[in-house]
Structure 1
Amino acid sequence: MTPPTRSLYFENSSGRIWEEPSGYLRLEYRPGPREAVQFRALLTHTAQAMSRRQWDKMLVDQRDMAPFNPSEQDWMTNEWLPRTVQENGYRYGAILVAKNVFARLATNQFVMASRNLPHTYRTFETEDDAVAWLLKPGHN
């Protein structure tokens, strides 16, 4: 018997969203600059996928990501994340950290700004560690 495989949920010029058979979403950012409409569509689809599946976990692969610009940072911090936590049940985010130091700094600012929400982000260097954290008991 073949083990279940991930399925592609959504894809555009900013990235891809995968549904993992273990019960979480995988968001993969593409390298390079992002167009605002495509970026917002990508993240909006993550929220919709969480609601559809009733999942509360996401692996965010930022390894090849360019830094967030101020507009992206503002929208994610003040609109997308609070709404996704409150309306779609997003609770656990495991971030595979970017190679680009400025992208890492932007992510750290975003994580710090979201600390008042009932949501937990952790950053990881390896995918194995990130997945193990997402799947640990109590994260359901």
Structure 2
Amino acid sequence: MDLARQMAAGTVGVDPAGYVHLQWGPGSGDSAAARAVFDEVLRLLQVSGFGKLLTDQRQRVPATEEYMGWLLVDWLPRAGTGQLLTQVAVVTARPLHLRLQSLDVSSEGKRLYGICTRYFATLEEASQWLQETNGQEPGT
């Protein structure tokens, strides 16, 4: 990951392979710190023009209801409007409740903005998918 920025909730940067890379850390349980990371993701999507995000959620901490509300009502519209974000590859967390929170966001992103999200077990698989696709559903 080039130009990586270590933040309280994780590390975010631009990968030369053509996407923004977010690796959550143990500090992701702090709603303010997590919001700051997502705001940095938006900034990097804007400056890079990539429209793709790889989010590694294996160390993510569960989000509060308030934070999930902010993510769905504030951040997602900013990311989805004008197709700033078109494609997301998620390396999934193991706990079921974390995966369900991620599914809530990705379902709304698809429904409202056409953001294509896929889930993977490894960084390598997620990165490969982002590099091989242009946000299109398989077979289209």
Name stretches of at least 5 consecutive residues in structure 2 with no aligned partner: none
TM-score w.r.t. length of structure 2: 0.86
Q: How do residues 118-133 of structure 1 correspond to structure 2 at under 5 angstroms?
A: 118-133=114-129
Q: Deviations over 1:103-132 (max 9, x none)?
A: 112112222232321211111112222111
Q: 2:77 aligned to 58, 64, 82, which one?
A: 82
Question: Could you tell me which amino acid in structure 1 is paired with residue 109 of structure 2?
Answer: S
Name stretches of at least 5 consecutive residues in structure 1 with no aligned partner: 1-5
Structure-2 residue corresponding to 1:101: 96
Q: Please tell me whether residue 45 in structure 1 is matched to residue 17 in structure 2.
A: no
Q: Secondary structure at the match of 1:112?
A: helix
Matched-pair contact (CA < 8 Å) for 2:90–2:126: yes
TM-score w.r.t. length of structure 1: 0.86
Work out the CA distance in 1 between the residues paired with 2:61 and 2:86: 25
Higher helix share: 2
Work out the CA distance in 2 between the residues paired with 1:121 and 1:86: 16
- Sort the Cα spacing of 1:98 and 1:77 in 2 relative to 1 into closer, same or farther, 3 A: same
Matched-pair contact (CA < 8 Å) for 2:12–2:21: yes
Q: Runs ≥4 in structure 1, deviation > 6 angstroms?
A: none
Deviation at residue 51 of structure 1 after TM alignment? 0.6
Identical amino acids, percent of aligned pairs: 23
Q: Secondary structure at the match of 1:45?
A: helix
Query: RMSD of the alignment, in Å?
Result: 1.9
Question: Could you tell me which amino acid in structure 1 is paired with residue 65 of structure 2?
Answer: P
Aligned residues: 135
Q: 1:25 aligned to 9, 20, 25, which one?
A: 20
Deviation at residue 65 of structure 1 after TM alignment? 0.9
Q: Secondary structure at the match of 2:26?
A: coil
Deviation at residue 32 of structure 1 after TM alignment? 5.1
Deviation at residue 54 of structure 1 after TM alignment? 0.9
Q: Higher mean Cα deviation, 73-82 or 112-121?
A: 112-121
